[in-house]
Amino acid sequence: MGLIPKSIALKYSGQVIRVRKGDSVFREGEPALFFYQVEEGSVKMVTSSEDGREFIQGVFHAGESFGEPPLFCHIDYPATAIAITDSHVLKIPKDRFFQLLQENFAIHLRFDEGLCQSLRYKNMILSEVSFHTPEHRLQTLFRHLRETLPKKQGHIEVPFTRQVIADMIGLRVETVIRSIKKMESEGKLTLKGGKIRL
């Protein structure tokens, strides 16, 4: 699985780099020179406001690509990509990547599918953030995670802290904590030592 098989990536000057937890793959304002895909671990994409708050545009896991828009729009990165665990990231130079797409229509199609998935996610979060209550936002995010994350023995353990969740749906930690507690008391989810189970 993964958008681009390593065997093919190698033919197009692809190389895998290691990124430590907390380090950035690229930062806001830098020119977009490479295509990136997570091989191992996970990477978050964040934009931060003047006063230090950050909004998490997305979290990417093994097999998912990220940071494509600037490649196609020929602009500098409008956001920063940071590893949230030690990770391996595949990078392919921009022009070689376009060549790869041209010569592999099937991959190109799957690439588009990835973009579209991303758009769907954003549309979803957007309408949530713009007119739904904290609880509703959480439920929608959790539903999405349920559909996306691999489930082990019937349930899913949310792999994010409450702060990260807050930054994903535009809320404050305290609000997320309170809402989750409320949802637990209503039986909408269970808490197992702080971890959220769906």
Partner DNA sequence: GGTTTCGTATGATTCGAATCATAAAGGGCG
Partner DNA sequence: CGCCCTTTATGATTCGAATCATACGAAACC
Q: Which positions touch DNA (CB under 7 A)?
A: 133-134, 161-163, 170-175, 177-178, 180-181, 191, 193-194
- When asked if residue 102 is in the footprint of a copy of itself (CB under 8 A), the reply is yes
Cα first-last separation, the chain: 25
Question: Amino acid letter at 125?
Answer: I
> Quick one: 43 or 125, whose CB is closer to a copy of itself?
125
Query: 61-100: which residues touch a copy of itself (CB under 8 A)?
Result: 68-73, 75, 78-79, 98
Q: How far is the CB of 150 from a copy of itself (least distance, A)?
A: 19
Strand blocks (E) in 32-188: 34-40, 42-48, 54-61, 65-66, 80-83, 87-93
Query: Sheet of 15-19: strands edge to edge?
Result: 15-19, 87-93, 34-40, 65-66
> Quick one: 7 or 102, whose CB is closer to a copy of itself?
102
**# binding residues, a copy of itself (CB under 8 A):** 41
Q: How far is the CB of 32 from DNA (least distance, A)?
A: 29
Closest CA to 158 of 182, 174, 141: 141
In this structure, the number of other CB atoms found within 10 A of the CB of residue 17 comes to 13
Q: Could you list the residues that contact a copy of itself (CB under 8 A)? A: 47, 49, 53, 55, 57, 68-73, 75, 78-79, 98, 101-102, 105, 108-109, 111-113, 115-120, 122-127, 129-132, 169-170
